[in-house]
Amino acid sequence: MCGRYVVAYDPQTLVSGFSVTRVVPFPKRWNVAPQSPVPVVRETPEGERVVELMRWGLVPHWARDPAIGHKLNNARAEGLFDKPSFRQAARRRRCLLPASGFYEWQATPAGKQPWYVTPAAPGELFAMAGLFEAWRPSEDADWLLSCCIVTTAANALMAPIHDRMPVMLERAQWDAWLDRRRQDPAEIAPLLAPSAPETMRAWPVSKAVNRAGNDGPALIEPSARTD
């Protein structure tokens, strides 16, 4: 799973890094929690690649109550095209969630130890595979854009920390993932494999990240393990 992550870059980074034509302003954050607005890269029906803010926690278009989004922060790659909450978005509404890194919690005898996971190459960004939806309670109401992160089995680096991790897409895979014309699961499913462990690095951090209200670059500083 992925329950917190870091957005420590400015909008212009996405313009150059993801070749987007339109981007909305957003603040740097070192402890992004579910239900927060997050920058998302998607492709419009006209083929334009843009960055929009969406609420983290997917609200399917058929939902009666948007509170369902509290339970849909992540979508497991296994069965992605079969589950009612995700199957339509997996075919037609895929996106990328750029991240400087993410947190995961390791079970230890002393309690859960948070780790920070970031790209191995300094300055690079993760491109986490995501799904998005547009929902509104009535025809005259504003649209709510929401998203979730697709997860897969842990790779060799992540396995000692947690059994799940976000799907990290390489640059060469972005076009295929964002392409709205690709709707065949047989074409999309191969993109959902765990990324190579050498593409990332990880270290333990302070338990201050446990509190969603805490923020700032100090949260990603290495910390002594408590086990």
Q: Does 227 score more than 80 pLDDT?
A: no
- Name the average pLDDT for the chain: 95
Read off the pLDDT band of 225 (50, 70, 90): low
**Residues of the chain with pLDDT > 90: what percent?**
92
Q: Does 1 score more than 80 pLDDT?
A: no
2 is catalytic: yes
Separation of alpha carbons 122 and 11, rounded Å: 18
Give the start-to-end residue ranges of the domains of the chain.
4-104+117-144+156-210
Task: Please state the φ and ψ torsions of residue 15, each to the nearest 5 degrees.
Answer: -60, -45
194-216, pLDDT tens digit by residue? Answer: 999 999 999 999 999 999 999 99
Q: Which of 104, 133, 147, 148 is catalytic?
A: 104
44-87, pLDDT tens digit by residue? Answer: 999 899 999 999 999 999 999 999 999 999 999 999 999 999 99
So what's the pLDDT on residue 159?
A: 97
CATH code of the region 4-104+117-144+156-210:
3.90.1680.10
What are the CA-CA distances from residue 103 to residues 83, 87, 99, 115, 219 (Å)?
Answer: 26, 27, 11, 5, 10
Q: Which of 2, 95, 147, 148 is catalytic?
A: 2
Q: Does 5 score more than 90 pLDDT?
A: yes
Q: Does 226 score more than 70 pLDDT?
A: no
221 is catalytic: no
125-141, pLDDT tens digit by residue? Answer: 999 999 999 999 888 88
78-110, pLDDT tens digit by residue? Answer: 999 999 999 999 999 999 999 999 999 999 998
Least confident of 131-135, 140-144, 170-174, 221-225: 221-225
Q: How many CA atoms lie within 13 A of 14 on its CB side?
A: 30
Single out the residue of 51, 65, 60, 57 nearest to residue 22, CA to CA. Answer: 51
pTM confidence score: 0.95
Q: Label residue 21 exposed, middle or buried (CB < 10 Å: 0-12, 13-18, 19+).
A: exposed
Single out the residue of 164, 4, 134 nearest to residue 58, CA to CA. Answer: 134
So what's the pLDDT on residue 123?
A: 86
Name beta bridge partners: 49.
43
Average pLDDT over residues 25-39: 97
